[in-house]
Amino acid sequence: MKLLAIDTSTDACSAALYIDGDIKELWELAPRRHAELILSMIDRLCQDAGVGVRSLDGLAFGRGPGAFTGLRIGAGVIQGIAFGTNLPVVPVSSLAALAQGAMREANRENVLSALDARLGEVYWGAYACRGNGIMRGVLAECACLPSEVPLPGHGRWFGVGNGWQVYGEPLRLRVGALISGVDPGRTPRAHDVALLGVDALSRGEGVSAEEALPVYLRDQVVR
């Protein structure tokens, strides 16, 4: 399988190309430069691999939650490619990609993802690995106050994402003994969007370009 993945949901900008199990990724921490960088990242990956977008089997993008402008850019780029190629698209949760990265790089099998949602809230999700190295959601994702995040109930969990930096104290008070440690510097990456995208595409979960939309988790968004 060949799949192109991008993520522009946070201050980081990344693109990845999955070809039969091998993944090449370009990543840069670049606030407000996503529109400038993402197309050149895609072009470079495809040129280096010697593949054109029409030869791909599918596309994936970080659908949010995250920064409003970044999500719009990512969705717009993927929709443009999908309209021109008629490729299926997998919208991947940015919170799930955070958790997948913690699994891939640090073997964390139970992860609580938190991104700063501004306005005193966090975007929140809980994910666990139950085989084949792919993280699955165990709670519905939400935007809420740090003191009101839903809890998975039992086990030991690892926290990732900048929500743990901005709202570390109230989150720790809420989660209590469930938390084993945190990595607040982790961002969603296209590498992990690709892994989750390939898994979803293999199960027939791709959508059309028209359905490749951002997910904000709340009506009020902050640019």
| Interval 11-68: pLDDT, tens | 999 999 999 999 999 999 999 999 999 999 999 999 999 999 999 999 999 999 999 9
Q: 95-183: same fold as 2-93+188-211?
A: yes
Compute the mean pLDDT over every residue in the chain, rounded to the nearest whole number: 95
Classify domain 95-183 by CATH architecture.
Answer: 2-Layer Sandwich (3.30)
pLDDT at 223 over 50: no
| Percentage of residues in the chain having pLDDT higher than 90 | 95
- Per-residue pLDDT, averaged over 86-103, amounts to 98
What pLDDT is stored for residue 221 in this prediction? Answer: 46
The whole-angstrom separation of Cα 82 and Cα 47 is 19
The whole-angstrom separation of Cα 164 and Cα 162 is 5
What pLDDT is stored for residue 33 in this prediction? Answer: 94
Domain ranges of the chain: 2-93+188-211, 95-183
Query: What sign for the dihedral angle of Cα 5, 8, 10, 11?
Result: positive
**Residue spans of beta strands (DSSP E) within the chain:** 2-7, 12-19, 22-29, 58-64, 89-93, 110-118, 121-129, 135-137, 142-144, 157-160, 179-183
Predicted confidence (pLDDT) per residue in 156-187, tens digit: 999 999 999 999 999 999 999 999 999 999 99
What pLDDT is stored for residue 212 in this prediction? Answer: 97
Q: Report, in angstroms and rounded to the nearest whole number, the Rg of the chain calculated over CA atoms.
A: 17
Classify domain 2-93+188-211 by CATH architecture.
Answer: 2-Layer Sandwich (3.30)
Backbone angles phi, psi at 52, to 5 degrees: -100, 160
| Percentage of residues in the chain having pLDDT higher than 70 | 98
Predicted confidence (pLDDT) per residue in 58-77, tens digit: 999 999 999 999 999 999 99
Torsion-angle region of residue 20: left (phi > 0), alpha (psi -120 to 50) or beta?
left
What pLDDT is stored for residue 219 in this prediction? Answer: 61
How would residue 130 be classed by pLDDT, with cut points 50, 70 and 90? confident
How would residue 220 be classed by pLDDT, with cut points 50, 70 and 90? very low
User: Angle at Cα 31 formed by Cα 25 and Cα 36, nearest 5°?
Assistant: 65
